[in-house]
């Protein structure tokens, strides 16, 4: 199992640490679809009991990243093309409204932060960084919306599809297209054009959905 061992035997938030480590490994694709999550093995890796491991896995199951299978126990949850399409359709509805509400509240400092993430994403030669920088770019823009529940729901939706998007960026022309679309969204935000930013965000999400669907069909 590809997880970094951590000694958390004296840590009060053991379940949270296990949860974050497993979540990161799943969304970054280090743990593959269908891979079993053996509680004893994970507990040994983190030098803790099975109780916080069980709690962490339960939280992951609530987020749809893990599912329980008969005779196998907890395994990493895969995502079908139909489920992925539904997640994208949901993102399109929520994220367009989020950025529409965010644009009027964006400060020069926030826009500079988003531009830095946009430039880092475009310049990074390391595919392992693309997923994080993509989320940081969008997250910076969305953070001005003052809709914390919306943001948390978007984060959960991104967790479900993140590992598939990372693969799609690497194996297709998704990176080049994402660079162009990110810059267009950012420029609309810098001009204070909320409706254009929302329309470009919709096109960005729908384009990623189509590209990912093509990638998943070819697997």
Tokens 């470009």 -> residue: 200
Alpha carbon distance 50, 5 (integer Å): 15
Average pLDDT, stretch 201-211?
Answer: 92
Alpha carbon distance 198, 193 (integer Å): 9
Domains, the chain, ordered by start: 14-76 (1.10.10.10), 81-217 (1.20.120.530)
Name the DSSP class of 191. Answer: T
Residue 6: its pLDDT value, please?
58
Alpha carbon distance 174, 211 (integer Å): 7
Q: Are 102 and 140 in contact (CB under 8 A)?
A: no
Residue 70: its pLDDT value, please?
81
Residue 137: its pLDDT value, please?
97
Q: pLDDT grade, residue 193 (50/70/90)?
A: very high
Tokens of 13: 């938030």
Dump pLDDT digits (tens) for 126-160: 877 888 899 999 999 999 999 999 999 999 898 88
Helices (H) and strands (E) in the chain, counts: 9, 2
Dump pLDDT digits (tens) for 50-89: 999 999 999 999 888 899 888 788 999 888 889 889 999 9
Q: pLDDT higher for 169 or 97? A: 97
Alpha carbon distance 188, 196 (integer Å): 6
H-helix or E-strand spanning residue 76: strand 73-76
Dump pLDDT digits (tens) for 16-56: 999 999 988 888 788 988 999 999 999 999 999 999 999 99
Global confidence as pTM = 0.78
């Amino acid at each position: 199992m590809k997880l970094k061992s951590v000694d958390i035997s004296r840590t009060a938030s053991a379940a949270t640490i296990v949860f974050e480590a497993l979540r990161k490994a799943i969304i970054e694709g280090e743990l593959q679809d269908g891979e079993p999550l053996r509680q004893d093995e994970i507990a040994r890796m983190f030098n803790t009991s099975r109780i916080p491991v069980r709690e962490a896995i339960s939280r992951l199951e609530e987020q749809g990243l893990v599912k329980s299978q008969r005779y196998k126990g907890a395994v990493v949850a895969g995502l079908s093309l139909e489920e992925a399409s539904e997640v994208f359709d949901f993102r399109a509805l929520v994220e367009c409204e989020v950025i529409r509400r965010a644009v009027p509240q964006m400060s020069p400092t926030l826009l500079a932060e988003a531009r830095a993430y946009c430039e880092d994403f475009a310049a990074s030669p390391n595919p392992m960084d693309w997923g994080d920088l993509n989320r940081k770019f969008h997250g910076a823009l969305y953070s001005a919306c003052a809709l914390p529940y919306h943001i948390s729901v978007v984060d959960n939706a991104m967790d479900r599809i993140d590992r598939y998007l990372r693969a799609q960026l690497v194996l297709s022309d998704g990176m080049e297209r994402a660079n162009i679309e990110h810059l267009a969204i950012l420029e609309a935000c810098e001009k204070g054009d909320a409706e254009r930013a929302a329309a470009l965000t919709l096109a960005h999400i729908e384009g990623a959905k189509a590209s990912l669907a093509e990638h998943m069909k070819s697997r």
